[in-house]
Structure 1
Amino acid sequence: MKVGNDLRAFMARLGHEFARPELLLRALTHGSVASVTRPDNQRLEFLGDRVLGLIIAEALFAADRSATEGQLAPRYNALVRGETCAAIAREIGLGDVLKLGRSEMLSGGRRKDALLADGMEAVLAAIYLDAGFETAKAVALRLWAERLDSVDDDARDPKTALQEWAQAHGMTPPRYQVTDRSGPDHAPQFEITVTLDDGRSAAATGQGTKRSIEQAAARALLSTVSA
């Protein structure tokens, strides 16, 4: 199979050159452009989710042999959640090589967390099928290395942690409000502000899901109240 310059550049960023590049092409093919002769990446995404899960679970287990299941679980969840997979996909420019239908492209599909996360998992599955588990593991551990080193900082869900802090101080749950919206309909940017009963607040802005922006706002407010 002939590989274009865009895919060659992506393989270089990924750190794996495919012996069977058709696996990579399938991993990057969204359902909006799939056909009978060009299947989408959903089956690979299913497999990649399990491959990533085992890699991360094994890495966490080996890194801290004294950690309990209760300590490992939130670290694991922080590393495999969709927002993390999407962030890593952005870092390697996966969105630039996604194969999308016209309507999905016009709606900003290359920037959507869900599509990027699914694509990242599908690519890991493609590496696994192309070269085996150890190769997929090496790629994932390199891409996730910084987050593995700092996982304790991200392990607790910021919204949950902020709510627990508020309740411990006799307050009602924090209130989240969209305080600004900009950008085109296919790629809106939101500003979300979180406020406590005592008036303290923080805001975050982004193009991700509203949940991810709420998490960022909660994290910003936590850093203030916990200082």
Structure 2
Amino acid sequence: MVSTFETDGSLLLARLEIDIPTDLLELALTHRSYSYEHGAIPTNERLEFLGDSILGQAVTVMLYTRFPDLEEGDLAKRRASLVSTVALAEIARGIGLGSFVRLGRGEELTGGRDKASILADTMEAIIGASYLGAGPDAATALVLRLVAPLATAPGHFGISMDPKTSLQELAGHQGLSAPVYELTESGPDHQKVFVATVFVRRPKTDAVVVTATGEGPSKKQAEASAARQAFAALSAAPQAGPAASGPASS
């Protein structure tokens, strides 16, 4: 009798256009929250570590050969955008990866199937599994199928590529002070949750023009999430210089 996982796994592999042994695919889809609730079974974190390296190499070689006129700094920025959590999560959502991830009840109840960090980590784990199960050439081909379409259109992600820098540049363009971040953390060591709040203020009066909050499993991701929210709000608002409408707090 064919198990439900084998059936679902076959559907995912068809979307990925690759063949990975069932045990490896199952491991790649096992989040640590599921492991903690099922006797500390192996998680996808080692595969994630492997996949991260394979992803980086494949993208680096692709950019180097596809864009012979780009300087080293531009190549580095383009690579960072393509291997970012945001890019990988976007790819994962495009193939419906969230519905296949094995999550613990807590993550399930808090929207873990659409969390960028979980989706990106699982995507890397699948790349690692493809390397072990199908070989290096197949793994590289998988990365290129998933990532290459973004390489010629990095603006597709806009602010998501470097949210903190983009927010700082936008604030400066509008004559505002540099964004300031405040950070809190909670949860056990194995499942920390960081919450970042960013404030963008007017110079001189110090009135808050925009504030936004974001969370994530690391300080970096929480601050990036907050910066994306603030960027969107600041972009949509009237120009925040002296002529901006709306009351200023004193």
Query: What range is the shorter-chain TM-score in?
Result: 0.7 to 0.9
For residues 162-205 of structure 1, the C-alpha deviation after alignment (integer angstroms, 9 at most, x for no partner) is 423543665312579xxxxxxxxxxxxxxx99867499x78999
Distance 1:29 1:68, change over 3 A: same
Residue 219 of structure 2 corresponds to residue 214 of structure 1: no
The alignment-based identity, stated in percent, is: 40
1:123 aligned onto 2:136: no
RMSD, aligned α-carbons: 3.5
Hey, what's the Cα distance between the residues in 1 that align with 2:119 and 2:138?
A: 21
C-alpha separation between the residues in 1 aligned to 2:34 and 2:125?
A: 16
* Aligned position for 1:184: none
- Which residue of 79, 83, 103 maps to 1:80? 83
Aligned to 1:24: 25
Structure-2 change in CA distance of 1:97 and 1:166 (3 Å): closer
The aligned amino acid for 1:104 is E
1:89 to 75, 87, 92: 92
Q: How far apart in 2 are the matches of 1:40 and 1:165? A: 40
**Structure 2: segments with no counterpart, 5+ residues:** 182-196, 240-250
Q: Distance in 2 between matches of 1:126 and 1:87?
A: 20
The whole-number CA distance in structure 2 between the counterparts of 1:108 and 1:223 is 27
- 1:107 is displaced (CA, Å) by 2.4
Stretch deviating more after TM superposition (65-74 or 208-217)? 208-217
Q: Which amino acid aligns with 1:10?
A: L
CA apart distance, 1:9: 1.2
Give 1:113's aligned residue.
Answer: 116
User: Aligned equivalents of 1:147 and 1:194: distance in 2?
Assistant: 31
Q: Deviations over 1:32-72 (max 9, x none)?
A: 22256841101001101101010111111111112222111
> Which one has more relative contact order, counting CA pairs under 8 Å at least 6 apart?
1
Q: Which runs of 5+ in 1 are unaligned?
A: 177-191
Structure 2 residue corresponding to 1:164, chosen from 169, 181, 187: 169
2:178 corresponds, among 153, 162, 173, to 173
Q: TM-score, normalised by structure 2?
A: 0.69
Q: Distance in 1 between matches of 2:93 and 2:75?
A: 26
Select 1:8's aligned residue among 4, 7, 10.
10
Q: 1:216 to 1:77 in 2, by over 3 A?
A: farther
Distance 2:66 2:199 in 1: 35
CA deviations 1:116-163 (Å, max 9, x no partner) are: 111110000001111112111111111113311212564962431342
**What TM-score comes out, normalization by structure 1 length?**
0.75
Q: 2:151 aligns with which of 145, 148, 151?
A: 148
Alpha-carbon separation, structure 1, partners of 2:41 and 2:174: 56
CA contact (8 A) 1:194 1:214 kept: no
Tell me, yes or no, if the aligned pair for 2:50 and 2:125 is still in contact at 8 Å. yes
Residue type of the alignment partner of 1:127: S
Residues paired across the two proteins, number: 209
Q: Is the 8 A contact 2:176 2:200 kept in 1?
A: no
CA distance 1:110–1:60, shift in 2 (3 Å): same
- The answer (yes or no) to whether the contact 2:32–2:44 under 8 Å persists in 1 is yes
Q: Secondary structure at the match of 1:7?
A: helix
| Aligned pairs for 1:62-73 within 5 A | 62-73=65-76
Partners of 2:127 and 2:134 in 1: how far apart? 11
2:61 matched residue in structure 1: 58
